[in-house]
């Protein structure tokens, strides 16, 4: 229970002004959810304290009001009760309002009020203890009450107020340690409650000591009740206080118990207080006596003290000055009710300095004429005691007393202070208000002389009582032995008789009080019930909360499982997505309505369109840059037949980013896209016809890819849905191209060593001859210089010896004959060597120069010659090459590729011959012939080798098939040759072989290549030509189906439905 | 007058050579033939005429009999003739094939100076070997270094810096099975590199300790020693060990690096024990068919003594500097091995291995107190060292050597 409380208080506003600081403790089991309910609970719980405080304030206010109206009897439960003092009532108003203020969140007001109450209480306490009134409260009320300097608050009441004020101050005191403060507050409240309760209990049990302390004044019953209520309010507040020791430990029903207990107690007390029987009335009379007597005594004593002080002052002066005396006397007269006049009597009996109602003469006459007054004066003078006369009637019905205070200086009698004491208002004040109308009161002197009588109740009874009192005053005096009033030297006996009839009947004021108590109890019960209700509501709210919590928990569990399922599904979908995305194949799924439902990342990359742009779109409307017609045809066929279709070598160009946006974002029409795509396709086709097909892919946009697709029906039973699965064959094509290139390099590499030899050898003799020439010509120059002179001499016919000597010197050591023979030969050989080098280098260039990669009209005879030159070193030690070139037109061909074909065939032939002749001296012959056969050029390469063995014949065109040793051949040469001839040139290649005689390869190349019909069966024509060429029995023309295919040369090759086609793909 | 025969199937090459070498006709007598068979016939004719060819320069690829076949025939039938190949081929296989049968391989187009120099050197070496005694020299001259598998690859690896250690290690693997060989090598290495190699260590441990490249050169040196050093006798082995120890000691004294030490030790094993034809060495050289007209009995070795010793040393130096490069030894090793025989003849540049080797030889000559050192030998080496700033290092080196010897002996006794 604690932790929820803590949580609640933690959630409440932490302001110190908030009474909710106290928490909701017992009332609620911490329904965190209901902050509104929580506030209700707080208000309800505090409202009990508020109500209690209000009741207390109301009590005090009611008494104050009645004080003001002087209708105090209305408030008293019975006639014998002393009314609550007005300062007590004021204190209750203050403290009650303080409690209310505190509970309503005005702790500062409560603090101030508490301080006031504490001041009031402590001052009153001091007053009571010192017996010295300072009339604090009297000043507040002005004339109505101030004139009546009645008894002050009783001591215990003062104490209670002091405690209450201290409590309120402490409550608000800052910095106090919470634990200690709580303890202090608790003990203070306990003190207030216990004092009040003791007083109340005393009234019930007639133990006067519990409410009337030190026989001074007694706490009034209402006051006791008020303090009980006040203390209860404090307890309630304490219980609400945070960290209060009583908080949390008390169960919920304790509030009920407290309410019921207070109500029952109040009812009981008041019932017993107002119950009337003889005993009760006697006791009430006794109480009346003691109360009234103590009151009277107190008042009289105070009068006497005032007189004595005045007398003392006169004595201190030595000589009484009329002026001074007059001032003091008039002050005393104002302060003391009941004093009619004050005067000084000198030893001669002269009165002077009279103040008050009577002047000197009147007083002199009264004192001198009245026997009992003179006796009293004499007694005062002789006995040196303050004495009083018997009551005398001076004017009319009033009963006066003369009080004499003798003044001695040393032993010298200087006179006496006399004051005329009018007892009537005094007694009226005491008995009239204090006793009420339910009692008859008679006051008589000890010698039985009555001087005061007051009759409550019916007049008949009053008469009876008067006679009875007159007749039996002694009895009465004896009966009321306690009822004495000592006044100076006089003792009066007071008797009172309860008016039974009146007492027995319920007084209106009693009923009021009862109602008040009832109201209090009901209000308390209501408050407590309300708090209980709130608590109950809180409990039920808590239960509801718990239910809600349980439900929400189960809901959360359900939610979590749902979320788990969802995330499972999401994960599965994501996993599927990942799987689809991780496919290296393009996947496009289209549903029955022709809308795209699958579009994996490969497709996104290929087309440059994200799946967000594509999914849900109509497939035909997508701006895809590929061969739309081909795909559309395949899709239509697939849908129509339900077969799986395959299309090869479709070039896909990704849409540029901005175009992709335009295409989908601004609603680019399908037609425009389509036409754009078609144009592009047309352009691509045009390119394809011109450019080297193998180089086509890299020649286009770097991002273009080549894909092979299959169109798969996804709906059984001829639905319209289909899936296009495409594999990116760009790399494969690249690899095949690279393989092709590698083979080319390999053949070139094979040639390289031979070519180096072919170059190095001429270089050797060229450099030798050059050296020779340069060495030889050097000495000849001097001879040449002599020639003009020789010419001159020859003209003259005389050869001077000098010249002959020089000539001899110049030609000395020059082998002229040798030079004459050798120099021209050397120059010739140099020329020849240079020619050889030039030839071979040019052949190399012709053979594989990057510049002639494209398709061109080429002279195949020249190409063959070049190849023969290049390969010379491969065959020259074993074989002779004979060429028989026919008249052939220029062929439209890829001449570089054909060069490679010829080289491969030539090298194969040379190797075949070398295998036969070995290193011996024998030589073979390679015969190369060309001729025109219709529109085909036929090239035959025949060797005199061993022929192709039977088992190898079907495999020689396979890739990687080789009969050469490891490291000697890759087995690619003939495969490449076949690919070049058949796939690139639509020609044919076959061979005729005879074991032991040799092999002839026959290559047929069309003179001009027709535009390829891409959409048809592109391989039909060459296949036919191939088979047409197969005439001889030994013809091993390659079966078309087994042909390895290099797809770059054959864009958009149609592959028949896979189930139908058993054709292995290369 | 040297007689040289040129063989090439390309007539223009021959005529070019003829014209170009026409200026040397005074010193060279040249003949040109266009095929292997014709060359053999010409050689035979010349021998019969008593004027054998000193050198034959042949092309490699020729129809009919190619260069390799021709030179193989020449090697067996006319061993005195120096064999050069002049070929236009650039592929390594063919070059190796040529090297296996020829003394030198010349690449077309070959500058005439190179050709002349090679021919001249071949003639000089042949003449030096003739002076040193043909019986013993035939091992050097007649047979190409075809003593083990992959020799060509090993020579290439030894000469090249480019090959990785893996390649070298793979080549070494073919030697590791010869235990006796590794035991002998281990002795030398333990003497020279006591810190790295312990006597009796196996091939793998030795290779690991010395490094593949170093061990390959040492292995080749020992192979060379076995091939040309004559039968392994105890005194020669002991001398090798002592020299190795001295090299190690001097190297430690002079703070030589491991590479210099290895080169010095390698060079120390590269010796031709060809001294004088009078020496009754009776080598177990395979009986080569001696040419009918054996070289006229060498005259110089007839007079034994100091001058002949110096001349023989110079001849050995000539032969070594011609022979060793074909084995793939580095220039520093070749120079050290060649100049060790005749320090006075070597070029002025000092090489570290040579100093170590000369110092070790010097110490060796003093090692046996019973035999007085050869004054000329010692004097020449002291002078050589003095010229190069090594004034009187003998005592220092001797102290280091004796310290090493003591240490070795104590270690040996411990083990």
Sign of CA dihedral A174, A177, A178, A183: negative
Cβ <8 Å between B61 and A919: no
Cβ <8 Å between B13 and A768: yes
pLDDT for the residue A487: 59
> Using a CB-CB distance cutoff of 8 angstroms, which residues of chain A are in contact with residue B15?
765, 769, 822, 825-826, 829
Which range has highest mean pLDDT (A583-587, A925-929, B71-75, B244-248)? A925-929
Burial class (CB in 10 A: 0-12, 13-18, 19+), B27: exposed
Average pLDDT over all residues of chain B: 75
| A203 vs A628, more confident | A628
Average of per-residue pLDDT across B215-236: 76
Q: What is the pLDDT of residues B116-126, one digit of tens each?
A: 888 888 888 88
Cβ <8 Å between A756 and B90: yes
Cβ <8 Å between A757 and B12: no
Whole-number Å distance between alpha carbons of A8 and B276:
122
Q: Which of A875, A887, A951 is nearest to A915 (CA)?
A: A875
| Predicted confidence band of residue A133 (pLDDT cuts 50, 70, 90) | low
Among the partner residues B16, B23, B63, nearest to A769 by beta-carbon distance:
B16
Rounded to a whole number of angstroms, the distance from the CA of B13 to the nearest CA of chain A is 5
pLDDT for the residue A76: 59
CB A878 within 8 A of CB A924: yes
Q: Which of A150, A266, A797 is nearest to A519 (CA)?
A: A266
CB A88 within 8 A of CB A60: yes
In B, minimum Cα distance to A764 occurs at B109
Whole-number Å distance between alpha carbons of A261 and A229:
12
Q: Which of B60, B59, B34, B29 is nearest to B46 (CA)?
A: B29
Rounded to a whole number of angstroms, the distance from the CA of A813 to the nearest CA of chain B is 10
CB A866 within 8 A of CB A980: no
Task: Provide DSSP, A840-851.
Answer: HHHHHHHHH-GG
Task: Report DSSP state, residue A615.
Answer: T
Whether the pLDDT of residue A1057 is over 70: the answer is no
Whether the pLDDT of residue A254 is over 80: the answer is no
Whole-number Å distance between alpha carbons of B229 and B208:
28
Q: What is the pLDDT of residues B328-346, one digit of tens each?
A: 787 788 888 888 877 776 7
Pairing, β B55-58 against β B28-33 = unpaired
Sign of CA dihedral B117, B120, B122, B124: negative
> Using a CB-CB distance cutoff of 8 angstroms, which residues of chain A are in contact with residue B12?
762, 765, 829, 832-833
Q: Coil, helix or strand for A496?
A: strand
Cβ <8 Å between B90 and A768: no
Whole-number Å distance between alpha carbons of A499 and A78:
11
Return the biggest CA–CA distance within chain B: 73
Counting residues of chain A whose pLDDT is more than 90, the rounded percentage is 2
Whether the pLDDT of residue A1002 is over 90: the answer is yes
Chain B contacts to A (CB-CB under 8 A):
10, 12-13, 15-17, 19-20, 22-23, 61, 63-64, 66, 86-91, 107-112
Cβ <8 Å between B12 and A919: no
Whole-number Å distance between alpha carbons of A71 and B276:
170
Average of per-residue pLDDT across A601-625: 82
> Using a CB-CB distance cutoff of 8 angstroms, which residues of chain B are in contact with residue A762?
12
Whole-number Å distance between alpha carbons of A199 and B121:
150
> Using a CB-CB distance cutoff of 8 angstroms, which residues of chain B are in contact with residue A769?
15-16, 19-20
Cβ <8 Å between B88 and A877: no
Rounded to a whole number of angstroms, the distance from the CA of B327 to the nearest CA of chain A is 26
Sheet holding A484-487, edge to edge: A450-454, A439-445, A490-498, A484-487
pLDDT for the residue B32: 92
What is the b/e burial string over A36-58, where b = at least 16 CB atoms within 10 angstroms of the residue's CB? ebbebbbbbbbbbbbbbbbbbbb
Q: What angle do CA A187, A193, A198 make, to 5 degrees?
A: 120
> Using a CB-CB distance cutoff of 8 angstroms, which residues of chain B are in contact with residue A826?
15-16, 19
Q: Residue A457 to residues A82, A83, A159, A497, A498: CA-CA distances in angstroms? A: 18, 19, 37, 10, 9
Rounded to a whole number of angstroms, the distance from the CA of B115 to the nearest CA of chain A is 11
Who contacts A25 (Cβ-Cβ below 8 Å, separation ≥6)? A5, A45, A239, A240, A244, A247, A248, A250
pLDDT for the residue A700: 44
Q: Which of B121, B118, B124, B125 is nearest to B141 (CA)?
A: B125
Who contacts A740 (Cβ-Cβ below 8 Å, separation ≥6)? A694, A976, A979, A1046
Who contacts A611 (Cβ-Cβ below 8 Å, separation ≥6)? A599, A600, A601, A603, A604
> Using a CB-CB distance cutoff of 8 angstroms, which residues of chain B are in contact with residue A760?
88-90, 107-109
User: Per DSSP, what are the bridge partners of residue A403?
Assistant: A388, A419
Cβ <8 Å between B112 and A826: no
Rounded to a whole number of angstroms, the distance from the CA of A572 to the nearest CA of chain B is 52
Whether the pLDDT of residue B54 is over 50: the answer is yes
pLDDT for the residue A646: 83
Cβ <8 Å between A921 and B108: no
Cβ <8 Å between B17 and A768: yes
Cβ <8 Å between B16 and A757: no
Q: Residue A921 to residues A876, A925, B68: CA-CA distances in angstroms? A: 12, 13, 15
Q: Residue A254 to residues A103, A243, A530, A533: CA-CA distances in angstroms? A: 20, 18, 14, 14
Q: Which of B304, B313, B302, B300 is nearest to B380 (CA)?
A: B313
Whether the pLDDT of residue A1056 is over 80: the answer is no
CB A927 within 8 A of CB A879: no
Whether the pLDDT of residue A449 is over 70: the answer is no
User: Per DSSP, what are the bridge partners of residue A705?
Assistant: A652
CB B90 within 8 A of CB A756: yes
Q: What is the pLDDT of residues A59-91, one digit of tens each?
A: 888 777 777 766 655 555 554 556 677 778 888
Rounded to a whole number of angstroms, the distance from the CA of B401 to the nearest CA of chain A is 55
Average of per-residue pLDDT across A130-150: 49
Q: Residue A1019 to residues A209, A1011, A1066, B187: CA-CA distances in angstroms? A: 137, 13, 15, 77
What is the b/e burial string over A575-603, where b = at least 16 CB atoms within 10 angstroms of the residue's CB? eeeeebeeeebbbbbbbeebbbbbbbbbb
Rounded to a whole number of angstroms, the distance from the CA of A746 to the nearest CA of chain B is 15
In A, minimum Cα distance to B63 occurs at A877
Q: What is the pLDDT of residues B81-103, one digit of tens each?
A: 888 888 887 776 777 777 777 88
Q: What are phi and psi of A1019, to 5 degrees?
A: -100, 5
Whole-number Å distance between alpha carbons of A309 and A313:
6
Q: What is the pLDDT of residues A459-497, one digit of tens each?
A: 434 444 444 444 433 333 333 333 555 555 566 665 555
CB A927 within 8 A of CB A882: yes
Q: Which of A393, A391, A420 is nearest to A404 (CA)?
A: A420
pLDDT for the residue A508: 41
CB A650 within 8 A of CB A677: no
Whole-number Å distance between alpha carbons of A426 and A406:
24
CB B361 within 8 A of CB B243: yes
In A, minimum Cα distance to B68 occurs at A919
Q: What is the pLDDT of residues A595-607, one digit of tens each?
A: 888 888 888 888 8
Alpha-carbon torsion, ordered B33, B38, B43, B49, to 10 deg: -100
| B395 vs A925, more confident | A925
User: Per DSSP, what are the bridge partners of residue A453?
Assistant: A442
Query: In terms of residues, how long is chain B?
Result: 415
pLDDT for the residue A1025: 35
In B, minimum Cα distance to A754 occurs at B89
Q: Residue A684 to residues A374, A629, A670, A831: CA-CA distances in angstroms? A: 159, 14, 20, 50
Cβ <8 Å between B63 and A766: no
Task: Provide DSSP, A862-922.
Answer: HHHHHHHHHTHHHHTTTEEEEEEE-----EEEEHHHHHHHHHHHHHHHHHHHHHHHTTSS-
Whether the pLDDT of residue A678 is over 50: the answer is no
Task: Provide DSSP, A935-993.
Answer: TEEEEEEEE-S----HHHHTTTTSTT---SPTTT--S-HHHHHHIIIIIITS-EEEEEE
Interface contacts (A, B; CB < 8 Å): 83
CB A373 within 8 A of CB A402: yes
In B, minimum Cα distance to A827 occurs at B16
Whole-number Å distance between alpha carbons of A728 and A648:
10
Q: What is the pLDDT of residues A498-509, one digit of tens each?
A: 443 333 333 445
> Using a CB-CB distance cutoff of 8 angstroms, which residues of chain B are in contact with residue A772?
16, 19-20, 22
CB atoms within 10 A of CB A267: 15
Q: Which ranges constitute the DSSP H helices of A70-177?
A: 86-103, 107-130, 136-146, 155-172
Whether the pLDDT of residue B15 is over 70: the answer is yes
| Predicted confidence band of residue A434 (pLDDT cuts 50, 70, 90) | very low
CB A239 within 8 A of CB A250: yes
Whole-number Å distance between alpha carbons of A734 and A951:
33
Whole-number Å distance between alpha carbons of B58 and A229:
143
pLDDT for the residue A1004: 92
Q: In chain A, count H helices and then E strands.
A: 35, 22
- The ipTM assigned to this model is 0.72
Cβ <8 Å between A761 and B23: no
Least confident of A532-536, A1039-1043, B30-34: A1039-1043
């Amino acid at each position: 229970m604690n932790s929820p409380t803590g949580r609640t208080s933690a959630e409440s506003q932490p302001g110190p002004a908030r009474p909710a600081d106290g928490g909701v403790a017992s009332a609620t089991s911490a329904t965190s959810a209901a902050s509104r309910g929580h506030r209700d609970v707080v208000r309800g719980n505090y409202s009990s304290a508020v109500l209690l405080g209000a009741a207390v304030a109301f009590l005090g206010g009611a008494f104050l009001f009645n004080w003001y109206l002087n209708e105090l009897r209305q408030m008293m439960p019975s006639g014998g009760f002393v009314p609550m003092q007005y300062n007590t009532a004021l204190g209750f108003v203050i403290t009650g309002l303080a409690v209310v203020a505190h509970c309503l969140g005005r702790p500062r007001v409560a603090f101030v009020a508490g301080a006031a109450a504490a001041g009031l209480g402590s001052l009153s306490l001091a007053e009571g203890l010192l017996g010295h009134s300072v009339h604090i409260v009297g000043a507040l009320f002005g004339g109505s009450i101030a004139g009546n300097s009645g008894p002050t608050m009783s001591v215990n009441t003062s104490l209670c107020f002091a405690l209450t004020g201290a409590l309120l101050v402490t409550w608000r005191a800052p910095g106090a340690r919470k634990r200690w403060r709580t303890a202090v507050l608790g003990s203070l409240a306990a003190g207030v409650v216990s004092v009040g309760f003791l007083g109340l209990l005393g009234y019930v049990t007639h133990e006067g000591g519990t409410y009337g302390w030190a026989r001074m004044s007694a706490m009034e019953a209402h006051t006791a009740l008020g303090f009980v209520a006040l203390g209860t309010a404090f307890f309630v507040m304490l219980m609400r206080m945070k960290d209060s020791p009583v908080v949390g430990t008390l169960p919920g029903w304790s509030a009920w118990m407290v309410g019921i207990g207070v109500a029952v107690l109040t009812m009981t007390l008041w019932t017993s207080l107002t119950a009337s029987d003889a005993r009760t009335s006697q006791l009430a009379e006794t109480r009346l006596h003691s109360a009234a007597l103590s009151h009277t005594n107190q008042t009289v004593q105070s009068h006497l003290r005032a007189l004595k002080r005045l007398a003392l002052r006169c004595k201190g002066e030595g000589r009484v000055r009329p002026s001074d005396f007059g001032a003091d006397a008039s002050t005393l007269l104002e302060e003391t009710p009941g004093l009619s006049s004050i005067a000084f009597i000198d030893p001669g009996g002269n009165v002077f300095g009279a103040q008050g109602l009577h002047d000197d003469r009147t007083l002199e006459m009264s004192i001198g004429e009245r026997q009992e007054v003179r006796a009293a004066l004499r007694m005062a003078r002789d006995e040196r005691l303050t004495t009083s006369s018997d009551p005398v009637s001076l004017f009319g019905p009033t009963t006066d007393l003369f009080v004499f205070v003798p003044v001695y200086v040393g032993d010298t009698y200087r006179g006496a202070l006399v004051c005329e004491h009018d007892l009537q208002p005094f007694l009226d004040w005491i008995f009239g208000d204090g006793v009420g109308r339910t009692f008859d009161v008679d006051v008589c002197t000890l010698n039985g002389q009555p001087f005061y009588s007051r009759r409550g109740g019916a007049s008949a009874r009053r008469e009876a009582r008067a006679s009875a009192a007159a007749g039996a005053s002694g009895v009465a005096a004896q009966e009321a032995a306690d009822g004495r009033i000592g006044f100076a030297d006089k003792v009066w006996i007071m008797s009172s008789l309860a008016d039974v009839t009146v007492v027995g009947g319920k007084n209106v004021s009693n009923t009021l009080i009862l109602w008040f108590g009832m109201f209090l109890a009901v209000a308390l019960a209501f408050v407590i019930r309300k708090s209980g209700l709130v608590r109950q509501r809180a409990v039920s709210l808590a239960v509801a909360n718990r239910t809600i919590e349980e439900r929400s928990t189960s809901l959360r569990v359900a939610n979590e499982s749902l979320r788990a399922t969802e995330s499972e599904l999401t994960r599965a979908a994501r996993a599927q997505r990942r799987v689809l995305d991780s496919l290296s194949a393009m996947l496009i799924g289209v549903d029955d309505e022709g809308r795209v439902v699958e579009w994996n990342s490969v497709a996104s990359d290929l087309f440059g369109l994200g799946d967000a742009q594509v999914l849900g779109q109509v497939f035909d409307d997508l701006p895809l840059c590929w061969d739309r017609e081909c795909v559309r045809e395949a899709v239509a066929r697939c849908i129509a037949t339900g077969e799986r279709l395959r299309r090869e070598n479709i070039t896909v160009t990704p849409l540029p980013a901005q175009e992709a946006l335009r295409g989908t974002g601004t609603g680019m029409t399908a037609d425009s896209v389509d036409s754009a795509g078609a144009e592009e396709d047309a352009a691509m086709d045009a390119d394809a016809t011109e450019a080297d097909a193998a180089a086509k892919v890299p020649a286009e946009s770097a991002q273009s890819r080549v894909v092979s697709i299959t169109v798969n029906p996804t709906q059984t039973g001829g639905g319209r849905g289909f899936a296009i699965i495409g594999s990116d064959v760009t790399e494969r094509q690249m690899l095949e191209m690279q393989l092709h290139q590698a083979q080319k390099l390999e053949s070139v590499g094979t040639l390289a060593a031979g070519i180096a030899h072919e170059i190095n050898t001429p270089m050797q003799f060229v450099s030798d001859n050059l050296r020779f020439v340069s060495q030889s010509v050097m000495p000849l120059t001097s001879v040449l210089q002599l020639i003009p002179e020789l010419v001159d001499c020859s003209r003259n016919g005389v050869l001077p010896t000098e010249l002959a000597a020089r000539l001899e010197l110049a030609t000395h050591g020059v082998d002229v004959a040798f030079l004459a023979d050798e120099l021209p030969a050397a120059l010739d050989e140099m020329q020849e060597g240079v020619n050889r080098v030039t030839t071979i280098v040019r052949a190399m260039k012709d053979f594989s120069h990057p510049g002639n990669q494209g398709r061109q009209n080429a002279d195949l005879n020249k190409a063959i010659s070049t190849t023969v030159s290049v390969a010379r070193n491969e065959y020259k030690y074993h074989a002779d090459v004979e060429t028989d070139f026919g008249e052939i037109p220029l062929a439209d061909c890829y001449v570089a590729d054909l060069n490679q074909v010829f080289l491969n065939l030539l090298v194969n032939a040379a190797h075949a011959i070398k295998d036969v002749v070995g290193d011996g001296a024998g030589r073979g012959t390679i015969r190369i012939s060309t001729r025109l056969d219709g529109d085909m050029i036929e090239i035959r390469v025949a060797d005199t080798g061993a022929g192709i063995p039977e088992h190898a014949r079907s495999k020689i065109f396979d890739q990687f098939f080789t009969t050469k040793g490891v490291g000697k051949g890759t087995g690619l040469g003939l495969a490449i040759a076949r690919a070049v001839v058949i796939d690139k040139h639509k020609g044919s290649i076959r061979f005729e072989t005879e074991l032991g005689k040799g092999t002839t390869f026959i290559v047929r190349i069309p003179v001009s290549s027709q535009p390829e019909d891409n959409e048809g069966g592109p391989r039909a024509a060459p296949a036919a030509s191939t088979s047409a060429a197969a005439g001889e029995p030994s013809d091993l023309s390659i079966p078309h189906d087994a042909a390895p295919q290099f797809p770059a040369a054959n864009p958009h090759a149609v592959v028949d439905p896979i189930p139908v086609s058993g054709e292995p793909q290369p | 007058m040297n007689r040289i025969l040129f063989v090439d199937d390309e007539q223009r090459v021959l005529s070019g050579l003829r014209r170009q070498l026409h200026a040397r006709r005074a010193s060279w007598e040249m003949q040109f033939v266009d095929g292997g068979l014709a060359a053999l016939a010409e050689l035979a004719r010349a021998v019969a005429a008593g004027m054998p060819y000193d050198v034959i320069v042949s092309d490699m690829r020729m129809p009919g009999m190619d260069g390799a076949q021709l030179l193989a025939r020449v090697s067996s039938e006319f061993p005195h003739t120096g064999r050069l190949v002049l070929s236009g081929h650039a592929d390594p296989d063919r070059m190796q094939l040529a090297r296996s049968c020829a003394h030198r391989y010349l690449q077309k187009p070959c500058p005439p100076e190179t050709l002349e120099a090679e021919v001249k050197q071949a003639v000089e070496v042949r003449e030096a070997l003739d002076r040193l005694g043909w019986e013993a020299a035939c091992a050097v001259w007649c047979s190409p270094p075809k003593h083990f598998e992959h020799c060509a690859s090993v020579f290439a690896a030894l000469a090249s810096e480019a090959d990785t250690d893996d390649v070298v290690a793979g080549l070494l693997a073919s030697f590791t099975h010869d235990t006796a060989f590794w035991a002998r090598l281990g002795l030398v290495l333990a003497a020279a590199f006591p810190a790295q190699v312990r006597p009796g260590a196996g091939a793998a441990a030795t290779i690991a300790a010395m490094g593949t490249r170093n061990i390959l050169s040492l292995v080749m040196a020992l192979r060379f020693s076995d091939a040309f050093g004559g039968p392994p006798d105890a005194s020669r082995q002991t001398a090798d060990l002592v020299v190795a120890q001295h090299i190690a000691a001097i190297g430690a004294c002079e703070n030589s690096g491991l590479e210099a030490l290895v080169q010095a030790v390698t060079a120390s094993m590269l010796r031709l024990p060809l001294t004088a034809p009078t020496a009754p060495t009776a080598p177990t050289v395979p009986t080569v068919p001696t040419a009918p007209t054996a070289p006229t009995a060498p005259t110089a070795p007839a007079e034994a003594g100091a001058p002949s010793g110096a001349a023989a040393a110079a001849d050995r130096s000539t032969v070594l500097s011609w022979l060793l490069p074909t084995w793939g030894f580095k220039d520093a090793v070749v120079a050290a091995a060649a100049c060790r025989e005749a320090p006075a003849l070597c070029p002025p540049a000092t090489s570290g291995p040579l100093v170590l080797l000369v110092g070790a030889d010097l110490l060796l000559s003093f090692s046996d107190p019973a035999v007085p050192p050869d004054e000329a030998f010692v004097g020449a080496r002291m002078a050589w060292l003095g010229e190069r700033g090594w004034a009187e290092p003998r005592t220092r080196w001797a102290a280091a050597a004796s310290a090493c010897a003591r240490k070795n002996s104590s270690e040996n006794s411990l083990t």
